[in-house]
């Protein structure tokens, strides 16, 4: 999976992924009106609106960025219809050649992790018949439960050419409450970072990076530089640019000397001008810093 | 929420919650046949089968136990139809008077946590119209991101009489990899335990327990006793009994002297005899140890 992602990053000279975290309040009226008329102000309408909005975004960016990252919570909150919009967004993006990073942040014990893994990046087995359900190319995971909560995903990564991004240092203000606690002179996020790099060793591709990546928030440039050096084979998925306060100049330390090693999340809110006025897209580009 | 749960535990003299983690391989043929005939071996059939199976379980236990705990992964893996079966299971259980603990283990940054909170234990707002979607009474959460990933749920707990169970020490074999790391002479799970007890102080009910509870695995009796003493106001949700190897005699230390303080998860697999032969249910009962 990581090789496909890097190939596209190189082709497009653009190491960004567009987040698809739709919220009704920022979606233009011209997209919302019809759905409300048909279905009222219902979860079904919200789900249709999200899918339509995402299609407009995808149509505008599919040949500029390598990947999209839908945040499942935004869809899940509207129940089954929301989940269907999440799945349909993924299908639409895949058909346009985009790589899909599902921001699901799941984390559970082995038997449960198997169900998540089968549904999201593998196949579910119904009496011997295999079905693909979500079809993300990669998903985010939470490491708090340890390796047996990650392991069920590893085989699917190998067998179906999928990947993971495991939370190491998140972008939110209280991320330090647990992640920055110090153990034998090392922070928890460093410990987790080393584990993630180790877990990924069996899935290293042609560029020297593993399909098992890490989430490292854009709001922590100092910690990112340090993590960069102790996780040489790990690709970073970097949220927190824009809305959460990180600026493009802070992002240099997330990359390696090869110009690779990180993909920056570009919030879709920054893309609203293209929806409203069809003006040129201002995406964070590679040589930003 | 915690008061309702304890009221029912006292009335029924039964501090157990039945897990609803259905898997096709253990569901009897008489429940599966019709769905496969109608829909083939499809996600839709799987979802219908899960709902039917859960109804049989619920019909047999609703007047014996206070609560059920559906594990969302088992449903989510089958996509939108699976999620609908999860929601319909919750509705069916609520109509029978059961308290619902949604085992979702979500954990994300503030804006995303708001979406999960609205959907699962609050209301989603569609242009001013409020909708209840999942309607769990309580859900499990992952604390790795710190308090701002928990806070969005707190108001809903107050306003809608809901609760949380936050992962402290999980039941799986690798749980120690991060949770047992030692910080200034204290394990991470102890640090998290103290945080959870602190976070819950504003939501303490008539029995002295908070609606903000903790997940403490049944496979760690020694750690549970220690956590019991440093988290006096926190109710424990205890998974890992049965399938994961913990025995009833290990569970005494999870309870306080008042006979309260813990609710033990009873795996539905142990209930299969009632489905197959309609024999008397052997639930873990209060004075087990």
Closest CA to B65 of B103, B99, B40, B92: B99
pLDDT at A268: 79
Tell me the average pLDDT across B157-166: 98
Assigned token pair, B31: 């429940």
> Over the stretch B244-284, which tens digit does the pLDDT of each residue have?
667 777 899 999 999 999 999 988 777 776 555 444 445 55
pLDDT at B249: 78
Confidence of residue B134 (pLDDT cuts 50, 70, 90): very high
Residue B30 Cα, gap to closest chain A Cα (Å): 15
DSSP label of B250: G
Contact across the interface for B76 and A172, Cβ inside 8 Å: no
**Residue linked to tokens 């910080």:** B183
Q: Give Cα separations from B242 to B73, B238, B264 (angstroms).
A: 20, 11, 10
Contact across the interface for B106 and A73, Cβ inside 8 Å: yes
Which chain B residue shows the shortest CA-CA distance from A150?
B174
Contact across the interface for A77 and B142, Cβ inside 8 Å: no
> Over the stretch A162-172, which tens digit does the pLDDT of each residue have?
999 999 999 99
pLDDT at A275: 59
Contact across the interface for B148 and A174, Cβ inside 8 Å: yes
Contact across the interface for B119 and A41, Cβ inside 8 Å: no
From A115-129, A211-225, B33-47, B232-246, the region with the lowest mean pLDDT: B232-246
> Over the stretch B55-84, which tens digit does the pLDDT of each residue have?
999 998 999 999 999 999 999 999 999 999
Report pTM: 0.95
Q: Please state the separation of Cα B280 from the chain's center in Å.
A: 24
Tell me the average pLDDT across B149-159: 97
Residue A114 Cα, gap to closest chain B Cα (Å): 9
Confidence of residue A276 (pLDDT cuts 50, 70, 90): low
Nearest to B124 among A78, A149, A173 (CB): A78
Nearest to B142 among A21, A107, A128 (CB): A107
Q: Is B105 a catalytic residue?
A: yes
Identify all chain A residues contacting B113, using CB atoms and an 8 Å cutoff.
Answer: 73
Identify all chain B residues contacting A143, using CB atoms and an 8 Å cutoff.
Answer: 144, 178
Residue A225 Cα, gap to closest chain B Cα (Å): 20
Average pLDDT value over all residues in chain B: 92
Contact across the interface for A147 and B174, Cβ inside 8 Å: yes
Residue A10 Cα, gap to closest chain B Cα (Å): 30
Residue A69 CA to residue A4 CA, distance in Å, equals 16
Residue B76 CA to residue B226 CA, distance in Å, equals 35
Q: Helix, strand or coil for residue B186?
A: strand
pLDDT at A217: 95
Contact across the interface for B179 and A149, Cβ inside 8 Å: no
Identify all chain B residues contacting A21, using CB atoms and an 8 Å cutoff.
Answer: 111-112
Identify all chain A residues contacting B40, using CB atoms and an 8 Å cutoff.
Answer: 129
Q: Is the pLDDT of residue B162 over 90?
A: yes
**Residue linked to tokens 């599966």:** B32
Cβ A232 vs Cβ A202: under 8 Å: no
pLDDT at B286: 43
Q: Is the pLDDT of residue A281 over 60?
A: no
- Cα four-point dihedral sign A252, A142, A166, B181: positive
The residue annotated as part of the active site, out of A105, A191, A252, A285, is: A105
Residue A169 CA to residue A239 CA, distance in Å, equals 10
Q: Give Cα separations from A32 to A22, A39, A84, B129 (angstroms).
A: 12, 11, 18, 15
Which chain A residue shows the shortest CA-CA distance from B106?
A106
Say what percent of chain A tops pLDDT 70.
93
Q: Is the pLDDT of residue B242 over 90?
A: no
Q: Is the pLDDT of residue A274 over 70?
A: no
Which chain B residue shows the shortest CA-CA distance from A133?
B79
Residue B38 CA to residue B44 CA, distance in Å, equals 10
Give the number of beta-carbon pairs within 8 Å between A and B: 220
> Over the stretch A19-75, which tens digit does the pLDDT of each residue have?
999 999 999 898 999 999 999 999 999 999 999 999 999 998 999 999 999 999 999
């Amino acid at each position: 999976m990581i090789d496909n992602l890097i190939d596209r990053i190189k082709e497009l000279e653009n190491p960004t992924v567009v987040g698809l975290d739709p919220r009704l309040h920022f979606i233009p009226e011209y997209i919302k009106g019809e759905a409300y008329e048909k279905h009222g102000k219902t979860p079904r309408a919200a789900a249709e609106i999200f899918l339509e909005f995402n299609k407009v975004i995808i149509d505008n960016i599919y040949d500029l960025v390598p990947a999209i990252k839908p945040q499942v919570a935004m869809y899940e909150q509207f129940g089954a219809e929301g989940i269907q919009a999440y799945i349909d967004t993924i299908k639409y993006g895949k058909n346009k050649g985009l790589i899909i990073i599902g921001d699901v942040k799941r984390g559970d014990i082995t038997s449960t992790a198997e169900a998540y893994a089968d549904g999201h990046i593998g196949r579910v087995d119904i009496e011997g018949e295999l079905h693909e359900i979500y079809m993300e190319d990669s998903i985010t995971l939470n490491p708090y439960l340890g390796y047996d909560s990650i392991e069920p995903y590893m085989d699917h990564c190998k067998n179906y050419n999928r990947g993971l991004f495991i939370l190491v240092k998140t972008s939110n203000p209280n991320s330090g409450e647990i992640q920055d606690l110090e153990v034998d002179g090392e922070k928890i996020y460093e410990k987790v970072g080393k584990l993630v790099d180790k877990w990924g060793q069996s899935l290293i591709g042609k560029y020297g990076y593993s399909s098992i990546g890490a989430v490292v928030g854009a709001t922590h440039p100092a910690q990112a530089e340090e993590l960069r050096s102790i996780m040489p084979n790990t690709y970073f998925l970097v949220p927190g640019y824009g809305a959460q306060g990180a600026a493009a100049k802070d992002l240099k330390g997330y990359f390696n000397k090869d110009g690779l090693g990180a993909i920056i999340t570009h919030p879709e809110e920054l893309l609203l001008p293209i929806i409203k006025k069809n003006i040129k897209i201002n995406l964070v580009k590679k040589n930003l810093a």
